[in-house]
A = this chain, B = another copy of it.
Amino acid sequence: MFFHTQKLINPIAADEPDPAAANILQEGLGGQFGEMRTMMQYLFQSFNARGDAKPFKDLIQGVGIEEISHVELITTTINLLLDGSSRYQGKNAKTKAKGAAAKKAPKEPGAGGTTPLDEAPFAPNTHHFIVAPQCALPVDAAGNPWSGSYVYASGNLVLDLMYNLMLESTGRLQKCRIYEMSDNKTLRSTVAFLIARDHAHELAFAKALESLGVNWGKVLPIPNFDASQYPEVKKLMDLGIHLKQHHFRLDGSEMGKIFQGNSPVNDGTEVETEEEAPEGAPIEDLPERPEEFAPGLTPELLEMVEAVKRYK
């Protein structure tokens, strides 16, 4: 059974809207190696686990639970990058706003035939404005919808662990590439966190394989470079974010029997399982977007919403 608390797993830095940054971040949400995939893959592997290798099942499921919170985090980050971007004219704007868009949007969007969304046809993914209300979609950076065929759960423990290690490494590789594509602070705060967490997940699956006898020599982490050269990642690594694993279980976990002791990277560091959940960060409401008819409440409907809110 699953539960929720109204906290983001990591805070998101404020910066200006940027639909191109939002679009590349979609790869981390709905891409073949993104958070929706890791979430569903680890949940299926743990629901389908055979035999009684409980610490291994708990490790896989523990990472899987965390990934639901990553889906929440990256969706929210994309929302912040898109919100208001159609009328945005600041430093990250690739093209100059023209005509109606250059003026303040009227109270009634489109009234008199104005075009408050006239930047949208030139956005990398116009669905962010036509299908979604300047919000994230379950698609990748090329607009392909997420597919159930991504999920890998062979039932063979060694194989599942090896796939997961490769999956986290690819996720980290792609996020490092995305990091080098944009210095938007909103994007960077989440990408840096996910680089550190994918690092920890790599270690988790590598450690599980090490416990079965593999010695990784010097090939880990993958990609094999010092991510602390990225300032935003360095701050998190200095806190050891890439070496810790929470289990997100309300009734305990045996994950810690595997994820403890020497790092499988063989660099002298140590990994550690935390019993307590991270503190988390507050979630802000997204403002209304009348030009998207979202939430689209008229004065009459708003009055009813207020009546509901006053209840009890």
Question: Within the complex, which residue of B72, B176, B301 is in contact with A110, where a contact is CB–CB below 8 Å?
Answer: B176
A162 & B159 in contact (Cβ 8 Å cutoff): no
In the A-B complex, the 9 residue pairs with the smallest Cβ-Cβ separation, listed nearest first, are A133-B155, A213-B217, A155-B294, A146-B148, A138-B148, A145-B148, A223-B293, A48-B135, A20-B121
CA distance A183 to B130 in the complex (A): 16
A250 in complex: contacting residue of B3, B72, B300, CB < 8 Å: B3
Q: A36-B148, A48-B286, A110-B229 are in contact. Are A219 and B301 (CB under 8 A)?
A: yes
User: Knowing A156-B293, A214-B215, A285-B51 touch, does A24 contact B138 (C-beta < 8 A)?
Assistant: no
Check B138 against A151 for contact (C-beta < 8 Å). yes
Whether the pair B156, A295 counts as a contact (CB closer than 8 A) is yes
Per-position 1/0 for A34-68, Cβ under 8 A of B? 00100010011001111111111000010001001
Given contacts A50-B286, A136-B47, contact A293 B155 (CB under 8 A): yes
B2 and A286 form a contact (CB under 8 A): no
User: Which of chain B's residues has its CB closest to A183's CB?
Assistant: B115
Q: State whether B219 touches A180 (Cβ < 8 A).
A: no
Give Cα A159 to B311, complex, Å. 23
A71 to chain B, nearest CB (A): 7
Known: A250-B4, A257-B309. A47 touches B69 (CB 8 A): no
Residues of chain A at interface, number, CB under 8 A: 160
CA gap between A55 and B153 in the complex, in Å: 32
B214 with A136: CB separation less than 8 A: no
Are B155's CB and A292's CB within 8 A? yes
Q: Per a CB cutoff under 8 Å, which of B6, B149, B157 touches A296? A: B157
- B36 and A157 contact, CB distance less than 8 A: no
Report Cα–Cα, A45/B2, bound state, in Å. 18
A141 touches which of B3, B31, B126 (Cβ 8 Å): B126
Determine whether the beta carbon of A153 is less than 8 Å from that of B132: yes
- Whether, in the assembled complex, A312 has its beta carbon less than 8 Å from a beta carbon of chain B, the answer is yes
List 16 contacting pairs A-B, 8 Å CB cutoff, sorted by A.
A4-B248, A23-B121, A30-B148, A53-B297, A110-B176, A156-B294, A158-B296, A159-B166, A162-B165, A163-B166, A211-B307, A212-B217, A212-B218, A213-B218, A215-B217, A254-B309
A288 at the interface (CB under 8 A from B): yes
Interface residues of A in 166-214 (CB under 8 A from B): 166, 169-170, 173-174, 176-183, 188, 209, 211-214
For residue A272, CB closer than 8 A to chain B, the reply is: no
Residues of B within 8 A of A75 (CB): 44, 47-48
Q: Tell whether A17 is near chain B: CB-to-CB under 8 Å.
A: no
